[in-house]
């Protein structure tokens, strides 16, 4: 019981910090807290659904193929099992429920809700990883801080990118061609980021790989924060 309590606290803390950070970026008309928490809870559901779908897909694969270490197996696990399945599960709850909320009334709201969904997803995933790693406190702590520095922020950025393009599809309807490209980017960009991030981690974790992961993380931060700035400037509630 003590191990699970530690896993829950360690798994949720970085998500709550990042959720607060992105929530405060919405300066002009912040979302009701109960809606943000609902989006977070939908992320928990998305994680459970994605895990179930991944297990189903694994049932069709040859035994031990993923653990073979081949490039095909690494690519499949990174871009299909992680990128495609997990980001699609997030997109489903974002577009079937949150997209239609009355409170989703400006472009930056897409970022806030996308991040909330992804952090709900990451929190439940985090708890499972930390709990499984706790053969000793030191091992659990190592997994917790590594995921706090890399995996949880990465999920927040995947969701931020998805939410940004969701906001554009809802509010920027002046260019039909751009509307379709935004719909594609809404899923394609987070899948590409997620797959590239996981693919790097499937190699031997030496200094070179950690450098690649760090640079990829910084690039995602720049990508998402620039779009937060664009969405902020497009807010109809921004003072003129």
Q: How far apart are the first and last CA of the chain?
A: 54
Q: Which residues of the chain have pLDDT under 70?
A: 1-11, 132-145, 147-148, 173, 177, 205
**Is the CB of residue 100 less than 8 Å from the CB of residue 91?**
no
Quote the pLDDT of residue 201: 80
Quote the pLDDT of residue 119: 93
Quote the pLDDT of residue 129: 76
Quote the pLDDT of residue 153: 86
Q: How far apart are CA 126 and CA 128, in angstroms?
A: 5
148-150-151 Cα angle (round to 5): 80
pLDDT digits (tens, 9 = 90+) for 66-95: 777 788 888 988 899 888 999 999 999 999
Q: How far apart are CA 187 and CA 3, in angstroms?
A: 36
DSSP secondary structure letter of residue 103: T
Quote the pLDDT of residue 38: 93
């Amino acid at each position: 019981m003590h191990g699970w309590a530690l896993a829950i606290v360690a798994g949720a803390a970085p998500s709550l910090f990042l959720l607060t950070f992105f929530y405060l970026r919405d300066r002009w008309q912040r979302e009701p807290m109960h809606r943000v928490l609902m989006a977070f809870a939908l992320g928990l559901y998305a994680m459970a659904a994605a895990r179930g779908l991944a297990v189903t897909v694994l049932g069709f694969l040859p035994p031990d193929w993923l653990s073979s270490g081949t490039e095909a197996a690494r690519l499949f696990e990174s871009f299909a099992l992680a990128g495609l399945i997990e980001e699609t599960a997030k997109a489903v709850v974002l577009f079937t429920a949150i997209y239609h909320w009355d409170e989703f009334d400006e472009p930056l709201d897409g970022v806030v809700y996308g991040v909330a969904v992804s952090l709900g997803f990451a929190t439940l995933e985090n708890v499972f990883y930390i709990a499984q790693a706790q053969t000793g406190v030191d091992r659990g702590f190592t997994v917790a801080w590594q995921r706090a520095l890399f995996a949880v922020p990465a999920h927040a950025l995947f969701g931020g990118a998805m939410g940004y393009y969701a906001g554009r599809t809802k509010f920027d309807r002046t260019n039909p061609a751009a509307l379709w490209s935004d719909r594609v980017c809404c899923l394609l960009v987070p899948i590409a980021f997620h797959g590239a991030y996981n693919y790097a981690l499937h190699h031997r974790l030496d200094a070179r790989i950690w450098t690649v992961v760090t640079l990829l993380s910084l690039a995602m931060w720049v990508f998402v924060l620039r779009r937060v700035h664009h969405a902020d400037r497009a807010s109809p509630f921004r003072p003129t």
